[in-house]
Amino acid sequence: MKISIVTVVFNNRDTIEAAIQSVLAQTHSDIELIVIDGGSTDGTREVLAQYESNIAILVSEPDDGIYHALNKGIDLASGEAIGFLHSDDLFADRFAIERVVSALADPNVDAAYGDLVYVRKLDPTRVVRHWRAGPYRSELLRRGWMPPHPTFYARRALYQRHGGFEVSLRIAGDYDCMLRFLVAGAKLAYIPQVQVHMRLGGASNRSLGNMITKSYEDYLALRRHGVGGVGTVVWKNLSKLPQFFASRSTAKLV
pLDDT tens-place string over residues 142-152 = 999 999 999 99
Instruction: Find out whether 182 and 86 touch, Cβ atoms under 8 Å.
Output: no
Strand pairing class (188-199; 57-60) = unpaired
Mean pLDDT of 54-64: 96
Confidence of residue 246 (pLDDT cuts 50, 70, 90): low
Which residue did the predictor score with more confidence, 237 or 48? Answer: 48
pTM for this predicted structure: 0.91
Q: How many CB atoms lie within 10 A of CB 82?
A: 26
CB proximity list for 65: less than 8 A, separation 6 or greater = 167, 170
Kindly report the CATH number that applies to the domain delimited by 3-250: 3.90.550.10
Residue 156 has pLDDT above 90, yes or no: yes
Nearest to 197 by CA among 163, 247, 237: 247
Residue 187 has pLDDT above 90, yes or no: yes
Q: What is the pLDDT of residues 78-136, one digit of tens each?
A: 999 999 999 999 999 999 999 999 999 999 999 999 999 999 988 988 999 999 999 99
Residue 252 has pLDDT above 60, yes or no: no
- Ramachandran class of 103: left when φ > 0, alpha when ψ lies in -120 to 50, beta otherwise: alpha
Whole-number pLDDT of residue 163: 97
* Mean pLDDT, the chain, integer: 92
Quote the CA–CA distance of 181 and 110 in Å, as a whole number: 9
Whole-number pLDDT of residue 211: 81
b/e code 214-224 from CB counts within 10 Å (16+ = b): bbebbbebbee
Confidence of residue 254 (pLDDT cuts 50, 70, 90): very low
Mean pLDDT of 27-54: 97
The residue extents of the domains of the chain are: 3-250
